[in-house]
Amino acid sequence: MKTYSPVATKRPIPYRGPSNSANLRDFHDEVVSDLNGLSQAQQINFADLYARMSQMYREIKLIQNQRDSDFALLNNMNKFIGASDPDIAVTYVNNMSETDDIFYHPSSPDVRRAEVYPDFKMILPPKNTLASVFYNRSLDDRTVVLKNIETAVYTSIEDVSDWEPGAIVEAGDTQKAFHPDLTQAWVRKAVYPLYSDVREVRMQLEVQVPQTEFAPNVLQILPYPYGAVDILKIEYSPDTSGNLRDISQIAPLFGKANPEGDIEFIPIYNATGVMVNFPSQRINKIRITFAQRNSINADGRKVFEYGARLISLNRVDYDTASDIANPFDIVRNNNFLIRVTAPKDYTFDRLVYFNSDPYDPTGQHLRWQISENSSFNDETVWNSFMNLPQTISQMEGGAVVRGVKLNNLLQNRRELWVKGILSMVRDPLPNSPFPVNVPAFVRNLTLKFTVQPTA
């Protein structure tokens, strides 16, 4: 935001007395200068506001398109549910981007309530403190001052000499990506004639990380445009050697084994927010590879826009409360609730599938409990220490059926409540998906159940 401080100074001009022409001339000149300065500041602020609104408009259009696609899927699902089959299977999925179904028990203390990050589609234990590597805050928490952050952008990647061939490039201001003000963004534009056959552009952003007294443990990336940029690779260097390593080496849940057995980052296409938790350690350099496959028509030109609204590297002190002796106690464990409602005019019949991403088969770091009400004072339908519903078989009417029968357990059969318990991982367990010294987290929950028409 451009600011301007007027410089005109009040000068003595006696009432009906002799005046000093120099004073009048200087005052007039200062007023004219002030008017010019204010006009220039207004124009700069207007241009900046227009650019931000244009960015937001394009992101809103992308979100609207995604919403329309989701509505189309929902309509198809509603048609499926409305069929005449008396035993219909329905799948409930919560990817943690919507908070409508996420709740907390009234008796759960605030310090035990897990934190939801819709932009990053994750739920994590509550945090006690947060310190940023890239900026400092004033004592009153109102002012943010960026540190000295050196960046470089490269378009020669691997075997391709230029991933923006022949483009007119508007580099944008990379520093905007490190500021926590999400109304601004770093936007790089590769501009081509409308008839260009270029289908994709790529770039690598290298960040020289300012050194701090603390070692970070969380990397967050909000790409621009949200949901329309690919993040192909994230690398880091722990020292000044410059040798880069795949981020999945310290965050294995974001990678997979290649044919040689090495862990590699899984590319994220049409990325929304990316939040990587890893054991705290020194980070000297970060390199992120972006790709943009979507272009827009801007004033008769083919424009590829990509960049980041936020890149943050933080040290987060997550709450470590955990009581495995009372595994589902909401006072002794960090927790949250998810409400699952049966489709209109239907009731629950059988729970046939349960999974979370990640899923912890040990139940030590991430565990689940399902009940028919939010108080969880009635019979438990299922919990993590039981066999998964998809592995349970029962005889019913002379036939083998899978899952947990619900209509014998539930009174209203219209709602299920799922309780999640998250712990900070302190002890290694062979079958736990979480490495040591990172928080357990959830990024997806899937239930599949059969329903029956309401009697």
- The pLDDT of residue 373 is 83
- What is the rounded average pLDDT for all residues in the chain? 85
In the predicted model, is pLDDT for residue 397 greater than 70? yes
Percentage of the chain lying above the pLDDT 90 cut: 57
Residue with tokens 């991430």: 366
Instruction: Show the beta-strand stretches assigned E in 30-171.
Output: 88-94, 102-103, 115-117, 122-124, 127-132, 135-137, 144-146, 150-154, 168-170
Tokens at 63, concatenated: 């979100």
Q: CA-CA distance, 180 to 134, in Å (whole number)?
A: 10
Residue with tokens 């937001």: 56
In the predicted model, is pLDDT for residue 83 greater than 50? no
- The pLDDT of residue 368 is 97
Mean pLDDT along residues 362-384:
88
Q: CA-CA distance, 440 to 365, in Å (whole number)?
A: 6
Give 291-312 pLDDT, tens digit per residue.
999 998 888 899 999 999 999 9
User: Omega before 109 cis (within 30°)?
Assistant: no
Tokens at 362, concatenated: 């040990």
Mean pLDDT along residues 115-119:
94
- Decide if 356 contacts 446 (C-beta within 8 A): yes
Query: Hey, what amino acid is at 164?
Result: E
Q: Which of 334, 338, 387 is nearest to 93 (CA)?
A: 338
Tokens at 186, concatenated: 């770093």
Q: Which of 153, 154, 136 is nearest to 145 (CA)?
A: 136
In the predicted model, is pLDDT for residue 357 greater than 90? yes
- The pLDDT of residue 38 is 72
3-state secondary structure of 276: strand
- The pLDDT of residue 84 is 38
Q: What is the dihedral of CA 344, 389, 71, 61, to 10 degrees?
A: 140
- The pLDDT of residue 440 is 96
Cα–Cα distances in angstroms (integers) from residue 169 to residues 187, 433, 435, in the given order:
11, 43, 42
